[in-house]
C-alpha cells in the first residue's frame, strides 16, 4: 500500500497539481488573505473581534444555537488562521482531538475533522484513524455521491495528502450526476473538480453563470429569485479558481457582499440578517475571489 501511495502521489503531482494542496495562489487560505487587502484596518479588527466572540471555551466555534460544532469550527479555523490568531487555534486542535475521541463524525463533519487535525494536531494515531474512515466512506457503493460530496473529499484529501482517495475521486467524476437541476454549489464544485483534474469545463462555467442575477449575487437554484452570500461566494471562488475574468461584475459583486456585512460579521441574505462564523467565512471568500 505504501508503494501504491507513492506512485499515486508522483502521478498526481506530475499531471494535476504540483503542490499537494490546491495550487497555492488559488487555495482557500490564499483567497481569504487576499480579502484582507480590500478591508480597512478598523474593519479587520471588527472581524477579528467577531471571530474571537464565536469561539467556544472548548476551542471549537459555535453554530447559530451557540454550541461548538465541527462544521462551524472549520470556518472558524480558516478565519482565525488568516487573522493571525495562532494561540486560539491551539485550543481548536484540542477540541478536534477530543471530539474524535468521543465518536467518529459522519458526513461533512468527517472531512472537516480531517482538515482540522491535519493542520492543528500532532496525534498521528487519531489522524490515521480518520483517514481510514474517509477511505471507507469513499468506496462505499451505497453512499449517495455527487459533485459536492466529491469536492469536500477532494479538499480533505489534498490537506491530508491521501492520494488513494484522490484516485477514487478521479474515477468517480465520469459517473457523477450532470442533470440541469443541480444547485449552484454542486455546479461550482464540479467546475473546480474538472479544472483540478484538467478535464474540459467550459460547459460548467456557462452553467454557473446562469445563476448570476446581474446585480452582484448568485442564486442557490434558478427557481429562487433571491441571491445569497454562500451561493455567491462559492460561485466567485470557482470562477476565480478557473481563471475567469471577474472584472465586469466586480463592482456589483462588491456592493452585494458589502450589503451583507454587519459589525464584524456577515449574514446569509437580505432575508436572514443573523451573522455567524460560516457566513463570515463566505463573505471573506467572496471578497478574496474578487481581489
| Residues 15-37: tens digit of each pLDDT | 555 444 455 678 899 999 999 99
Residue 43's contacts (CB-CB under 8 Å, 6 or more residues apart) are 264
Phi then psi for residue 276, to 5 deg, are -155, 175
What's this model's pTM, rounded to 2 decimal places? 0.90
DSSP run (H or E) holding 268: strand 265-269
Q: Tens of pLDDT along the chain (291 residues)?
A: 455 445 445 545 555 554 444 556 788 999 999 999 999 999 999 999 999 999 999 999 999 999 999 999 999 999 999 999 999 999 999 999 999 988 888 888 999 999 999 999 999 999 888 888 888 887 665 556 677 777 888 888 888 888 888 888 887 776 666 666 788 998 998 898 888 888 899 999 999 999 999 999 999 998 888 999 999 999 999 999 999 999 999 999 999 999 999 999 999 999 999 999 999 999 999 999 999
CA distance 191 to 235: 9
Q: Do 174 and 150 meet the contact criterion of CB atoms below 8 Å apart? A: no
| Residues 162-199: tens digit of each pLDDT | 888 888 888 777 666 666 678 899 899 889 888 888 88
Q: Which three cell numbers stand for residue 59?
A: 476551542
Amino acid at each position: 500500500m505504501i508503494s501504491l501511495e507513492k506512485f499515486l502521489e508522483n502521478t498526481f503531482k506530475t499531471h494535476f497539481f504540483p503542490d499537494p494542496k490546491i495550487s497555492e495562489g488559488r487555495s482557500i487560505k490564499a483567497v481569504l488573505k487576499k480579502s484582507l487587502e480590500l478591508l480597512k484596518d478598523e474593519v479587520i479588527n471588527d472581524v477579528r473581534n467577531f471571530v474571537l466572540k464565536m469561539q467556544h471555551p472548548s476551542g471549537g466555534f459555535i453554530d447559530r444555537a451557540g454550541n461548538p460544532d465541527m462544521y462551524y469550527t472549520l470556518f472558524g479555523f480558516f478565519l482565525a488562521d488568516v487573522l493571525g490568531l495562532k494561540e486560539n487555534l491551539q485550543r481548536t486542535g484540542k477540541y478536534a482531538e477530543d471530539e474524535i475521541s468521543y465518536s467518529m463524525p459522519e458526513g461533512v463533519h468527517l472531512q472537516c475533522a480531517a482538515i482540522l487535525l491535519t493542520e492543528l494536531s500532532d496525534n498521528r494515531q487519531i489522524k490515521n484513524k480518520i483517514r481510514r474512515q474517509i477511505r471507507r466512506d469513499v468506496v462505499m457503493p451505497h453512499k449517495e455521491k455527487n459533485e459536492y460530496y466529491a469536492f469536500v473529499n477532494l479538499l480533505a484529501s489534498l490537506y491530508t495528502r491521501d492520494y488513494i482517495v484522490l484516485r477514487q475521486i478521479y474515477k468517480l467524476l465520469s459517473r457523477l450526476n450532470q442533470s440541469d437541476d443541480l444547485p449552484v454549489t454542486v455546479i461550482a464544485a464540479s467546475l473546480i473538480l474538472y479544472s483540478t483534474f484538467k478535464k474540459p469545463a467550459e460547459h460548467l462555467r456557462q452553467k454557473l453563470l446562469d445563476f448570476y442575477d446581474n446585480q452582484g449575487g448568485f442564486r442557490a437554484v434558478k427557481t429562487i429569485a433571491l441571491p445569497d452570500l454562500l451561493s455567491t461566494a462559492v460561485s466567485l471562488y470557482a470562477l476565480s479558481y478557473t481563471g475567469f475574468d471577474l472584472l465586469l461584475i466586480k463592482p456589483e459583486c462588491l456592493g452585494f457582499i458589502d450589503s451583507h456585512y454587519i459589525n464584524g460579521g456577515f449574514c446569509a441574505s437580505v432575508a436572514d440578517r443573523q451573522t455567524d462564523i460560516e457566513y463570515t467565512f463566505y463573505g471573506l471568500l467572496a471578497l478574496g475571489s474578487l481581489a
